[in-house]
Structure 1
Amino acid sequence: MSVEDGDWTRPDDLEGVREALIEWYEADHRDYPWRRTEDPYEILVSEVMSQQTQLDRVVEAWQDFLDRWPTTGALAAADRADVVGFWTDHSLGYNNRAKYLHEAARQVEDEYDGEFPETPDELEALMGVGPYTANAVASFAFNEGNAVVDTNVKRVCYRAFDVPDDDSTFEAAANELMPAGRSRVWNNAIMELGGVACEQTPNCEAAGCPWREWCSAYQSGDFTAPDVPTQPSFEGSRRQFRGRVIATLQAYDELEIDTLGHRIRVDYAPDGETGREWLEGLLADLEDDELVEVERRANETVARLHR
């Protein structure tokens, strides 16, 4: 090992490190269907669905989604309420992601004549596509990305090469480790390493980690890693009730607000702590996200899905 600038421990045999990881990945890895495609639309759908959702749960939803809307053109032409309803039915988390994916499909059709942009900077122009997702699509669809840096990659770099817990240093180190022009296989491989070998509880021997020869943590036995953010409890959360509102309104043209309240929680009381004021705040957020519409009439307030 060698240390440069005191920031992280670089391997002397960088080419050996690269080839060892790629050979390990190509010999055996988890066979997710989106790893068998280079279609940017299919990859974007997988990336959006995979945000804070276990990959094994995404597989069926991903295939169902593509069966229903196989192209950006099909998705762009869909009713947004149907797309949001699909998201809720498949328990895919924040419904905003469905709205943004729908809008991104419209952008590809309207602004790019149905052809996906290819670079991370261009992809970031799509609605709801941040730096991580843009880079992932550029890598896996076009082999044009930088190093992907997610929680797994941070854990691997921290343990193997003493990369400090600093986002900019993680990004610089990950890009230095990645071989030029091989972002597709490299990013898949290093995320796989973090997902099956260098987990929170390491699995070095059983997974045949290809970096044991170079890994600082393996040599020292100290497998400390940066804190891994935990998902807030879903049960009883605002996110859960947003989903219940969407799912309930799918079955009705519209519902009076107190009727809706009683349908989404058993302890709903119009004048209570979790009553009308609470529900109006929830609906206001959903209105801002263009997921529902609220109409205030002379004698009642009604809610419906956004059209």
Structure 2
Amino acid sequence: MTAGAQEWALPDDLEGVREALIAWYEADHRDFPWRQTDDPYAILVSEVMSQQTQLGRVVDAWEAFLERWPTTAALAAADRADVVSFWTAHSLGYNNRAKYLHEAAQQVESEYDGSFPDTPDELQELMGVGPYTANAVASFAFNNGEAVVDTNVKRVLYRAFDVPDDDGAFEDAATDLMPAGRSRVWNNAIMELGGVACEQTPRCDEAGCPWREWCGAYASGDFTAPDVPTQPSFEGSRRQFRGRVIATLREYDELEFDTLGHRIRVDYTPDGEYGREWLEGLLADLESDGLVELDRDGTSPVVRLHR
């Protein structure tokens, strides 16, 4: 991390954090075809197309583009008007991206003898290739990239490890988290985490988020993030007590209804304002979110974490 005092810190068990995410990703992830190749040209095409288009819609366009222009040599020799027409026909966003991609292919052929540069800095010499795209191609094609820091990754770091909304802090945290020499799998994995589990509306349990045991947002119930509207004051809020319920059940595994109530707030009174009716409503929310289970078979309901 950058030298100097800071108010946040990554978990001590960094190796456990890393391996948990990689194992989660390798066990099951969205099977986009560009994840099955290390061809830098094919990866560059996917990255440029994805800038303006939902990933599910990019697949058909990407496959059709590569069928028509399978190499940088083929694209470089194409008529630029044909490339732009293809872009427009497939609703891929701003046409200048098609022009830049065509020019980048010509650069690879004329300036690099048909071989892609393989570092983020060198890749930025290609027309229309900025820092993010250069790093993605270096990572996914050559396993030679730096840690990706996009909106999804910022959201994950902010929620999981309380990294402040500061570009320098995000870059430090992302760099410290990424295992050396594994940028290909790591950057795919952390972006997948932000794309399917830690979305703006999180799906922690449904997606089996591998970082739940370390995640500050999961413990507190406060899923605010840089790209998520600020939530109401946390102190005394339902979010705070949701977090207390989860934290308490992690410690005790399961508790009777009233016992749980007394453990999460000092002013809990079964028949009072903050009593069984209040707690029932709180637990109903958590139950509907798939976070807790209520066993109502006995004389006193028992609450436990969802298994």
Aligning the two structures, in what range does the TM-score lie when normalised by the shorter sequence? 0.7 to 0.9
Query: Match of 2:200?
Result: 200
Secondary structure at 1:10's aligned position in 2? Answer: coil
Q: CA deviation at 1:166?
A: 1.3
Deviates more, 1:64-73 or 1:4-13: 4-13
Query: Match of 1:45?
Result: 45
Q: Distance in 2 between matches of 1:173 and 1:106?
A: 37
Q: Distance in 1 between matches of 2:223 and 2:215?
A: 10
Q: CA deviation at 1:7?
A: 4.1
TM-score, normalised to structure 2, is: 0.72
TM-score, normalised to structure 1, is: 0.72
Query: Match of 1:161?
Result: 161
Matched residue pairs, number?
Answer: 226
Q: CA deviation at 1:5?
A: 2.6
Unaligned runs of 5+ in 2: 230-307
1:130 aligns with 2:118: no
Query: Match of 1:29?
Result: 29
Q: Distance in 1 between matches of 2:7 and 2:129?
A: 31
Q: CA deviation at 1:14?
A: 0.4
The aligned runs of 1:214-229 (5 Å cut-off) are 214-227=214-227
The aligned runs of 1:218-297 (5 Å cut-off) are 218-227=218-227
Q: Distance in 1 between matches of 2:93 and 2:228?
A: 19
Q: Distance in 1 between matches of 2:193 and 2:44?
A: 22
The aligned runs of 1:61-140 (5 Å cut-off) are 61-140=61-140
Secondary structure at 1:172's aligned position in 2? Answer: helix
Query: Match of 1:143?
Result: 143
| Cα-to-partner distance string for 1:68-98 (whole Å, 9 max, x where unaligned) | 0000000000000000010000000000100
| Cα-to-partner distance string for 1:4-32 (whole Å, 9 max, x where unaligned) | 83242310100000000000000000000
1:185 aligns with 2:182: no
Q: Distance in 2 between matches of 1:40 and 1:54?
A: 21
CA contact (8 A) 2:151 2:227 kept: no
Moved over 3 A (4+): none
Q: Distance in 2 between matches of 1:109 and 1:8?
A: 46
| Cα-to-partner distance string for 1:240-273 (whole Å, 9 max, x where unaligned) | xxxxxxxxxxxxxxxxxxxxxxxxxxxxxxxxxx
Q: Distance in 1 between matches of 2:100 and 2:35?
A: 23
Q: Distance in 2 between matches of 1:52 and 1:82?
A: 20
Structure number with greater CO (CA < 8 Å, separation at least 6) is 1
Q: CA deviation at 1:167?
A: 1.5
Q: Distance in 2 between matches of 1:33 and 1:62?
A: 9
Q: Distance in 2 between matches of 1:228 and 1:191?
A: 17
Say which one has the larger Rg. 2
CA contact (8 A) 1:101 1:127 kept: yes
Q: Distance in 2 between matches of 1:40 and 1:193?
A: 23
| Cα-to-partner distance string for 1:117-162 (whole Å, 9 max, x where unaligned) | 0000000000000000000000000000001111111100000011
Q: Distance in 2 between matches of 1:73 and 1:120?
A: 22
Q: Distance in 2 between matches of 1:168 and 1:78?
A: 41
CA contact (8 A) 2:49 2:92 kept: yes
Instruction: Return the letter of the residue paired with 1:65.
Output: F
Secondary structure at 2:9's aligned position in 1? Answer: strand
CA contact (8 A) 2:47 2:133 kept: yes
Query: Match of 2:264?
Result: none
Q: Distance in 1 between matches of 2:84 and 2:217?
A: 44
The 3 A distance-change label for structure 1 pair 134 and 228 is farther
Q: CA deviation at 1:228?
A: 5.8
CA contact (8 A) 1:118 1:142 kept: yes
Q: Distance in 2 between matches of 1:5 and 1:180?
A: 25
Q: Distance in 2 between matches of 1:228 and 1:46?
A: 27
Query: Match of 1:246?
Result: none
Q: CA deviation at 1:169?
A: 1.5
Deviates more, 1:24-33 or 1:158-167: 158-167
Q: Percent identity?
A: 83
Q: Distance in 1 between matches of 2:112 and 2:7?
A: 42
CA contact (8 A) 1:151 1:228 kept: no
Q: Distance in 2 between matches of 1:202 and 1:97?
A: 32
| Cα-to-partner distance string for 1:179-219 (whole Å, 9 max, x where unaligned) | 00000000000000000000000000010000001001011
Query: Match of 1:285?
Result: none
The 3 A distance-change label for structure 1 pair 228 and 64 is farther
